[in-house]
Structure 1
Amino acid sequence: MPHSDDFLAVHDPASDRLVHAPGDGGGTWRGFAAALAVGLVVLCSLTWLVSMQRGIDGLQQATATRADRYAATLESTLDRYEFLPALVSLHPFVHDLLAAPGDPVRVAAANRYLSEVNRRARASATYVIAASGLALAASNHDEPGSFVGTDYRFRPYFQSASRGEIGRFYAIGITSDEPGYYIAQPVKVGARVVGVTVVKLNLEWFQRAGAGGAEPVMVSDEHGVIFLSSVPAWQYRTLQPLPSELQTELDRTRQYHDREVRPLPLEALRSPVTQWLGRTVLGEGARLVRIGTGSNAERYLEISRKVGPADWTMQVMAALDPVLASARNATIGAALAYACMCLLLFNWRQRRQRARDIEYGRRLLEAAYDELERRVEARTADLMAINEQLEAEVAERTRAESELRAAQDELVQASKLAALGQMAAGITHELNQPLAALRTFSDNTRVLLERGQLDAAAGNLVAIADLTTRMGKITGQLKLFAGKARQRRHAVHVRAALDHVLALMAPRLAHVTLKVEGLSQPPGPAVWADELKLEQVLLNLIGNALDALATAAPHAPCVEVAVSEHGGTVSIAVRDNGTGIAADALPRLFEPFFTTKEIGQGLGLGLAISSSIVREFGGQLSAADRPGGGAQFVVMLRRAPAPEGAAPRDGATSISPTHTE
């Protein structure tokens, strides 16, 4: 297939044409990106190396200048005091003292002379030591830490002077506990050394002078022990571990008294880059070092200079962090500039690629347009066939919708018949109790009339009249329950409603033990409810308890009614000691037409209607098994203020806390 560097020729079978597509270029892009990455690494490396080289070179020049100045200052101080002990050794007071060390007059004259010389020379101390090593006179003879009487035979500067040489030594004084530089000169009579004159210089001013600078300054002796340092933590540390014999010598001469001499964690940087910089940039007496361990280590440029006649070494440390930061910033700047250049190059390449894509899209669009014309012709024929099929489906759907509407009308009619059947079943269930009570009262009235008990018969007739009124109200209440009218709620005495219910059910309660709790103090609590509906609920619950006792036939059948108040609510609990509620029946107790009674004994609407009535009052009806056996139904209603003038209705019997017949 023919192709070019920029496009691939692609044959379109629909239009029988060649469409040139841009090349993939994936390998080219990957190679280009790799080359850019290598260039970035090389540029950053070179920038960092050049920046480090220039930074270290400038730092070295500045630090070397300061190091030379520090060294010259220290050298001039040491040279200025070098001749002082020699001059003191020539004075007659000193020779007289050494000739007669026990003469108090000569001792006093020597002490005055030494004090005057020390004051004018501004030295720390000036003193004379006998050949035996005992200090005979000193400039501080009248001070608490006087050197007079101290044996200095163990000091190396005394030992050197005793051999006729000049003794030089830096140590911490065993008497004053102050560090200083000791210069000792032998006092000779002929060729014999008869004593030693010593001048002690305090050089701590030097480390204090270096403390104000940016570079730490330290001076170490010929053994590598740092005895002067602008960093207090470095003083009396060693540049490298001391041999055991040298450590023993330091302990013997008590050079640093009770100071612990430990190695300073200093090491030269040995990376390949550091070694390259050392060969190309650093001069003699300069190196890159690190002081410290771990992440706390500090990196320095160390400039060393030899100072003094005692073979001391002075090191000036210049921090490398500014140089590293400058190199890092330069590297970041170079990387950013390189990235900008790469972005410009990438943008140019993208624009070029976009132009190629546009050309490819134009050619592809032409091919697609030709293909579209061909497909439109084919689809037009398909659409005509589909249109005919849709017309047939529309006719079929019209017929199905007509049948669906007819079925819906039938379902509506069936729903109406079901509602009428449910209402008739409810009326039948609710009238069963009053009808049974009417039959009982009628039979009792006939017997009472035969016995001539007219008062009792009259009471039964009043109860019969009350029951007929109640039956009329039940039919009206069932209409309201079906949703035909809204009920009116008002404050109802629980005691009055319960009195009426117990009066209606007195014949059925004759053979059970009835316990009423919580109503011993009249008039008792009141709730928001409808009086007739509340009686209907209590009638259903007590009737169900009696039915359960009749089925279970316990040894001592008992029905309990407990009324209690809890803040803004009143609970009415109806309990029995029957067999209780089966676990599988408990979740379905309040469903319509669900019953656990035998066929013909109930329709399963009593609890459903009672639950609905309680919900209308804003309360709740619940059921549970009792731990000791039997069932418990609890009605929770909102508490209401007691109605004025409320009293038990005619025909009702006042209840007592425990009623047994």
Structure 2
Amino acid sequence: MPKPPNTEDATAARRRWRRSLALLLGVLLGGAAVAFGAWRLSLDLALAQTQDDAQRHLRFVAHELTGALDKYEAVPQVLARHPALAGLLAQPASPTRVAEVNALLVDVARDAAAAAIFLIDANGQTLASSNWRDAQTFVGQNYAYRPYFRDAMASGGGHFYARGSTTGTPGYFIAHRLDQAAGVVVLKVSLDEMESNWARSAGDLMLADARGVVFLASRPEWKYRTLRPLTAAARAELHETQQYGDLPLASLVREPTRASDDLRVERVGTATARLRALVTEQPVEGRGWTLLSFTEIRGAEQIAAGRAWAAALGWVSLLLLLAYLQLRRRRARERLAAQGELRAAYGSLEARIAERTQELQARVDELRRTERTLRATQDELVQAGKLAVLGQMAASITHEINQPLAALRALNDNARVFLERGMQADAEGNLEAIDNLTQRIAAIVAQLKGFARRDELRVQPVPVVTAFQAAVALVGAEARRQRVVLACPPVPEGLAVLGQQVRVEQVLVNLLRNGIDASAEQGGGTVVLQAEVDAAAGQALLRVTDDGPGLSDDVQARLFEPFFTTKRRGEGLGLGLSISASIANALGGSLQGGNREGGGAQFTLRLPLA
């Protein structure tokens, strides 16, 4: 007879199967929960970071936009005071006055890089314009309906962005009223270049007015659409002012896919093309505009998905680790094999570390070679700066040498005549004068040779009084040529700095020449070279002050920038202060420049005391 099935075995098998199924379901649900949590957390963090980056970018763009428009504010205000405009408003039928104002507006528009500048009388009629030669000129057009005209006539100033009703070209209009409300001068600024820059930048940007009409956008299909449907009253007002002509101003499609207090994600675009993006807004102060940034979140979602997969893999790895620990005792041989593999991997790692160490040593050697090359290049730059200074002083040096040479020729001729006539005493006097002049020429040449000598940077004590004397001797002829007085108060006794004689002189020569040029611009003056001691800092302060016009904020910001110069073309390379700052840093000091209270500029070379 067949053996009946064992009921207890079947029950145990079913229990094991249920436990395995429950374990599998628990593993799957746990992995799904871990993956979802990692995905959500990673996505929130990525979107928050994206929003922070977009907010910083919007603040920068808003600042750039405001700055670009504010720099034009003063142009119509200044033009409104020009007597030619008042003269034309008083005699609008005068062809001479019309031609004069047209020419003036053409020059100002060109210099200010404005799209157009035009003059409107009190009735809104355009009398003159910078585009008077164009087929679509503003001359003869009446703009009394434009808000910028009405605001300027009422309050003195007006601002308005609109498409040109005459040319169809959009722009930002800045209006200013003339005295006695005789008329209004208007400047039109084009924002096309800024809009083109937006199209090339990361992310998508748009600029909307107070009604929600988008008038600048990085995507052409978004331009002249609205962020929300316009009311009938708003459309009537837009039609009256012709701000956007007769454009339909259809609404953009905006479908929120995620909205919270911190993050807003939308599908935005037109009926044919939409973008799923994170929306960030930034108001433009003082103009009622709003900047909007739309950043695609596809990258953030991909990062979140990658991290979710990593979390799921980590979950699986954790379970495998637990299973490994559970079977550890029964896998003694596998553990020993794994230890053998680990030793092999360790040996391989040591080999890789040794190889990597050799690579790093090679890079260190390359960096040292690069450092030597950089130092040699810097020495070449310093030498080139010295030769450039000598070249720029060539005229003064030539004049300084030509005077004793001319005297030498005259004394030589006289001595020959005295000898022919037997006037021995007079001839000896001339020869003694010739000897003195040759010594003077030799001293000048020796100073030039010492200044132009190629040398290596070797720090040693440098007497300040010696450096002052050499620098003043080198630029003395240039100062006399430009009618500038060089003043050098007494140097503290025994004062010396750690540096190098020629390089300290080079910095002083550069500063003195700049002071001489600046004072010469004012018709002459005094350049003062003086020394002080800052005992607390252990430094000597070598100061050069002049009677020049001083340094503007823009010049001070770029003072030590290479190839930046305020001199006329051909009179300077813009390397003197840059090289001088490099020399000061190499000598362990610094070089600062600024304006002094009494007027003029002041430069301070700080060097360590010897």
TM (norm. structure 1) is: 0.46
Q: From the CA coordinates, give the structure whose radius of gyration is larger.
A: 1
